[in-house]
Amino acid sequence: MIVIRSIVWKEESSFVNELYKMIRRLGMLRKYVFFLLLRAPFDALRTWMTASMIQSVFSCLQTGDDGVLPFLCIGYGLLCALLFLYNGVVWSSYAALAAKMQVRLQKNMMEKLQTQSCKRLESCLEGEWFTRLNSDIDAALAMMNAPLHVPHAVVAIVNTLVSSFLLMRSSLLLFGVVCICILPHLWVNYQMVLKNIPALKEESQKATAQCTSDIHPFITQADTITLYDAGGLLMNKYEESSLRLMKANLNLHKKNAVGQMLIPLFGIGGYFLVLLIGYGLIDRGTMLFSELIYCFQVRTSVLSGVFMLVSCMGNIRADSVCAKRVNDMFEQ
Task: Say if residues 200 and 252 touch (Cβ distance below 8 Å).
Answer: yes
Q: What are the boundaries of each domain within the chain?
A: 2-200+249-331
Amino acid 19: pLDDT: 78
Task: Say if residues 297 and 54 touch (Cβ distance below 8 Å).
Answer: yes
What pLDDT, in 10s, does the model give residues 118-168?
776 666 665 566 666 667 777 777 788 777 788 888 888 999 999 889 888
What pLDDT, in 10s, does the model give residues 192-205?
777 777 777 777 77
Distance, CA of 45 to CA of 57 (rounded, Å): 18
Q: Given CATH 1.20.1560.10, say whether it is the number of domain 2-200+249-331.
A: yes
* pLDDT over 60 (residue 210): yes
From the number of C-beta atoms within 10 Å of its C-beta (0-12, 13-18, 19+), residue 12 rates as: middle
Give the range among 117-121, 135-139, 169-173, 317-321 with minimum mean pLDDT: 117-121
Task: Say if residues 148 and 308 touch (Cβ distance below 8 Å).
Answer: yes
Task: Say if residues 19 and 144 touch (Cβ distance below 8 Å).
Answer: yes
Length in residues, the chain? 332
Number of neighbours of residue 77 by Cβ within 10 angstroms: 11
Task: Say if residues 57 and 294 touch (Cβ distance below 8 Å).
Answer: no
Distance, CA of 69 to CA of 71 (rounded, Å): 5
Q: What is the DSSP string of 302-330?
A: HHHHHHHHHHHHHHHHHHHHHHHHHHHHH
Write down the pTM of the prediction: 0.70
